[in-house]
Amino acid sequence: MSIAEGILRIVEDTARKQGFHRVKEVRLEIGALAGVEIEALRFCLDVVMRDSVAADARLDLETLPGKGWCLACGREVAIAALYDACPLCGGYQVRATGGTEMRVKDLLVE
């Protein structure tokens, strides 16, 4: 719920600064490794955005894949979870390099 409230604050602050009155669409990027349950976030966003500038806004959630750098292989690899073994060599020296982010990508407003 606190993530949804933070997103709403970003939307409302942006609306206030840029002078728009209604948000028609909110586009989010959420990494597969960010630790966010997408369906729970959708539910929470529906609740917190009621009676706001983003009431009835369409939500577009794009999931970004998990990526990591294997120190043993010296290669970038796809990972499904933090601290996964390298799919190439089986080593556990994989540092997450992508898929941990979460951001408001853009807003469609009127």
Give domain limits for the chain: 2-65+99-109
105: phi then psi, degrees, rounded to nearest 5: -75, -50
Q: Can you tell me the distance from the alpha carbon of 27 to that of 10, in angstroms, rounded to the nearest whole number?
A: 12
Q: Locate 50 and state its tokens.
A: 């009621």
What's the pLDDT at 110?
A: 87
Q: Locate 97 and state its tokens.
A: 């390099």
CATH class of 2-65+99-109: alpha beta
pLDDT per residue of the chain (110 residues) written in tens, 0 to 9? 999 999 999 999 999 999 999 999 999 999 999 999 999 999 999 999 999 999 999 999 999 999 999 999 999 999 999 999 999 999 999 999 999 999 999 999 98
Nearest Cα to Cα of residue 27 among 97, 19, 51, 14: 14
What's the pLDDT at 19?
A: 93
Model's pTM, two decimal places? 0.83
DSSP reduced 3-state for 44: helix
